[in-house]
């Protein structure tokens, strides 16, 4: 065991260099009865002086068998020229001694201002002794005037030394001379006290390490590494509003045509979309009766604006298809009719972009009164029955409904015969639907209804390979842009249906639902559940759900101890098994180390410690 002391500073008198006595550290080492070593063995600067002339290194034995290493540095410039070496010495010191001469005030202030802050940052709970050496010469009484800032004395006062000691949390000593009393009893007593404290601390730390070593004999508990991060599945952005907005321009599945008062065609549209937004169109297309609505304003608006024409002698009626020709609606109001294309574009885009609608109408109608009249009629069309002036403030309405709201209003027509123009037959049951919504939301159905297929001319369409509940959930997504499967099994069935009809965003939603459900299960539930996770993996791969299949492989590997005990684990392919074994958690190495550690602990518990 050894003690390292670092002494910093010059205790010599800068004005009286002649006949200077030996230094503080060397005097103590030569006179202390607790330090053994002759003059030649104490001073070891024969080689070190060349390498580091600013340091003088001493080595001796203290308390019989304790190695004492002292580095004495009288020059403070070492912190400027070789900061790395000085910092390491301070960091490894057990005791630090800072010494100065009381008659060298200039050097004291230079050290206090420039080097003490550096030492203070490098200290780490190390005891510090500040030794003020020498007898003050030509000392004058300090001025007590509170307005006087002059320093009349040329010596370092006791107050200044004590203040420095407080800054460093150090012990302050005044050594008027380097005789036996000041060196041996005064300075030596304090230094030896800190030496004993350092020895006690080192002995305590050594005993703790020995206890740990004796307790485990090098066998420590194995460290369980963190499992690999699961793949991140990103959701696909919704294109619900753009799908329905594009329906107005694609002219597919049109079932209503608007004409101006001169019986010229203005624009084609879809009953289902118009009725999803307005009770006026519900009344016009007989979805609801005046008794159901019970709002005179809506009834009056419907009668004043629109009229249905079923005359077979209508111009262009002979060119219409003989099957189900679009319903002809005449717009009675000429100003409203001139802006109808902009109004329908506003309705198909979600009926909330009021500022754009007003700007488009203002471009066509120069008169501000006409613009206000048309805007008021649009508000009446969007009015909710039983509510008065619900759209008086368009900007407030726009802020309150900034998103597409067909996803709630179209749900009213889901699995309802109202306005339905196609019926799906599933497992002996029938499900009515609307071609316009199906074509807008699903490319496969758009090709099916508009191509040279049997479904394009048929009203009753059989569906195979999915259950009625699954297909209804699929239609719910097409109508509302959302779905909520009852569980993992139904989500997987819906994913298969979405893959069959190539609706990629619904596939992603089902993948996220399955992942969220599995992640939320505690280990005990995973171990006891009846769901075949390997079968789920194989279905995901078969139906091209690459993200889900990759995630499930990582999930099986992360929960290896649970799934490896299940019989379906043997159904993994060679490639899948190799991947799971490679990425399994916890690893084989950890389990072996854990078994060895438990065996060792068990053997120590069974051993009798007394006998």
* Cβ contact 254:269 at 8 Å: yes
Q: Is the predicted pLDDT of residue 71 greater than 90, yes or no?
A: no
**Residue 458: CATH number of its domain:** 3.30.710.10
Judgement on whether residues 417 and 378 belong to the same structural domain of the protein: no
196 and 80 share one domain: yes
In a domain, 389, yes or no: no
Element (H, E) at 57: strand 56-62
Does 77 reside within a domain?
yes
Residue 222 lies in a domain: no
Of 391 and 516, which is predicted with more confidence? 516
> pLDDT above 70 covers what percent of the chain?
82
Among residues 448, 472, 506, the one where a domain terminates is 506
Whether residue 608 has pLDDT greater than 70: no
CB within 8 A of 184, min separation 6: which ones?
A: 28, 31, 32, 33
What local confidence, expressed as pLDDT, does residue 599 receive?
Answer: 86
Both 58 and 167 in a single domain?
yes
Residue 149 inside a domain? The answer is no
The pLDDT of residue 27: 82
pLDDT of residue 215: 55
Where is pLDDT greater, at 456 or 546?
Answer: 546
Q: How many domains, the chain?
A: 4
Contact of 256 with 270, CB cutoff 8 Å: yes
What's residue 212's pLDDT?
A: 61
Same domain, 442 and 566: no
Per-residue pLDDT at 36: 62
How does residue 507 score in pLDDT terms, banded at 50, 70 and 90? very high
The mean pLDDT value for 149-157 works out to: 66
HEC-encoded secondary structure of 492-511? HHHHHHHHHCCCHHHHHHHH
Same domain? 491 vs 531: no
Same structural domain, 24 and 173: yes
- pLDDT at site 598: 87
481-485: long-range contacts (C-beta < 8 A, 24 or more apart)? 481/238, 481/240, 481/404, 481/407, 482/407, 483/509, 483/510, 485/510, 485/513
Per the CB < 8 A criterion, the answer to whether 138 and 107 are in contact is no
Query: 526 and 465 share a domain?
Result: no
- 35 plus 178 within the same structural domain: yes
3-state secondary structure of 384: coil
**Cα separation of 376 and 367, whole Å?**
15
Tens digits of residue pLDDT in 371-403 = 999 999 999 998 887 666 554 445 444 444 433
529 and 471 part of one domain:
no
Residue 74 lies in a domain: yes
Q: How far apart are CA 199 and CA 67, in angstroms?
A: 11
Domain for residue 108, yes or no?
yes
Domain boundary among 478, 506, 534: 506
pLDDT of 419 strictly over 80: yes
Q: What percent of the chain has pLDDT over 90?
A: 38
Instruction: With respect to residue 16, please indicate whether it lies within any of the assigned structural domains.
Output: yes
CA dist., res. 437 & res. 442, Å (int)? 8
Query: DSSP strand E in 239-316: where?
Result: 256-259, 265-269, 306-309
Q: What range defines the domain where residue 558 resides?
A: 521-610
Choose the weakest-confidence range: 143-147, 424-428, 590-594: 143-147
Q: Which residues contact 497 (CB under 8 A, 6 or more apart)?
A: 466, 470, 471, 473, 474
Identify whether 318 is part of a domain: no
Same domain assignment for residues 255 and 158: no
Tell me which H or E stretch contains 36: strand 35-36
DSSP line for 165-217: HHHHT-EEEEESS-SHIIIIIIIHHHHHHHHHHHHHHHHHHHHHHHHHHHHHT
- φ/ψ of 147, rounded to 5, equals -95, -5
Give the alpha-carbon dihedral of 387, 392, 396, 400, to 10 degrees. Answer: 30
Domain boundary among 457, 483, 506: 506
User: What pLDDT, on the 0 to 100 scale, is given for residue 457?
Assistant: 84
Q: What is the CATH number of the domain that holds 262?
A: 3.30.710
Domain identity same for 435 and 554: no
What does the pLDDT read at residue 439? 94
Please state, in angstroms and as integers, the Cα–Cα distance from residue 378 to each residue in 229, 402, 478, 579, following that order.
54, 18, 27, 62
Instruction: Please check whether residues 366 and 297 belong to one and the same domain.
Output: yes
């Amino acid at each position: 065991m050894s003690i390292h002391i670092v002494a910093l500073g010059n205790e010599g008198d800068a004005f009286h260099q002649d006949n200077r006595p030996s230094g503080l550290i060397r005097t103590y080492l030569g006179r202390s009865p607790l330090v053994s070593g002759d003059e030649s063995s104490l001073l070891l600067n024969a080689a070190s002086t060349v390498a580091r002339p600013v340091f003088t290194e001493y080595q001796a034995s203290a308390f019989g068998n304790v190695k004492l290493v002292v580095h004495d540095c009288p020059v403070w410039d070492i912190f400027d020229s070789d900061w790395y070496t000085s910092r390491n010495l301070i960091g490894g010191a057990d005791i630090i001694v800072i010494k100065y001469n009381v008659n060298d005030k200039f050097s004291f202030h230079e050290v206090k201002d420039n080097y003490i802050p550096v030492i203070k940052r490098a200290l780490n709970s190390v005891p510090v002794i500040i030794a003020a050496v020498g007898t003050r010469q030509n000392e004058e009484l300090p001025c007590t005037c509170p307005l006087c800032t002059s320093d009349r004395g040329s010596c370092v006062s006791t107050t200044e030394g004590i203040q420095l000691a407080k800054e460093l949390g150090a012990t302050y000593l005044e050594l008027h001379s380097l005789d036996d009393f000041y060196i041996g009893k005064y300075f030596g007593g304090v230094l030896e006290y800190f030496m004993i404290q350092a020895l006690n601390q080192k002995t305590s730390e050594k005993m703790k390490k020995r206890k740990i070593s004796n307790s485990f004999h090098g066998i420590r508990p194995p460290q369980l590494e963190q499992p690999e991060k699961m793949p991140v599945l990103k959701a696909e952005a919704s294109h619900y509003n753009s799908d329905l907005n594009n329906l107005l321009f694609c002219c597919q599945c049109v079932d209503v045509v608007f004409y101006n008062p001169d019986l010229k065609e203005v624009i084609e549209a879809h009953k289902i979309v118009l009725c999803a937004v307005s009770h006026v169109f519900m009344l016009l297309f007989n979805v609801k009766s005046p008794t159901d609505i019970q709002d005179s304003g809506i009834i009056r608006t419907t009668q004043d604006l629109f009229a249905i024409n079923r005359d077979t002698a209508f111009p262009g009626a002979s060119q219409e298809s003989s099957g189900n020709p679009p319903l002809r609606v005449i717009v009675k109001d000429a100003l409203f009719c001139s802006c109808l294309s902009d109004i329908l574009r506003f309705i198909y885009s979600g009926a909330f972009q009021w500022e754009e609608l007003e700007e488009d109408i203002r471009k066509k109608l120069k008169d501000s009164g006409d613009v206000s009249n048309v805007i008021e009629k649009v508000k009446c069309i969007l009015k909710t029955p039983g509510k008065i002036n619900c759209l008086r403030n368009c900007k407030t309405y726009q802020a309150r409904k900034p998103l597409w709201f067909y996803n709630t209003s179209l749900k009213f027509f889901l699995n309802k015969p109202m306005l339905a123009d196609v019926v799906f037959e599933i497992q002996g049951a029938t499900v009515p639907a609307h071609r316009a919504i199906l074509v807008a939301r699903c490319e496969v159905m758009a090709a099916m209804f508009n191509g040279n297929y049997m479904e394009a001319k048929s009203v009753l369409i059989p569906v195979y390979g999915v259950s009625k509940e699954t297909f209804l959930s699929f239609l719910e997504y097409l109508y509302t842009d959302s779905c909520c499967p009852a569980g993992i099994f139904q989500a997987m069935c819906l994913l298969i249906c979405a893959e069959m009809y190539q609706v990629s965003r619904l596939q992603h939603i089902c993948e996220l639902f399955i992942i969220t459900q599995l992640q939320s299960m505690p280990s005990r539930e995973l171990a006891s559940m009846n769901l075949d996770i390997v079968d789920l993996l194989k279905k995901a791969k078969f139906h091209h759900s690459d993200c889900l299949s990759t995630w499930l492989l990582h999930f099986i590997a992360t929960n290896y101890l649970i799934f490896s005990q299940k019989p379906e684990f043997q159904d993994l392919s060679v490639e899948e098994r190799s991947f799971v074994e490679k990425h399994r958690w916890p690893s084989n190495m950890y389990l072996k180390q854990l078994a060895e550690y438990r065996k060792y602990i068990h053997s120590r518990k069974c051993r009798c410690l007394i006998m």
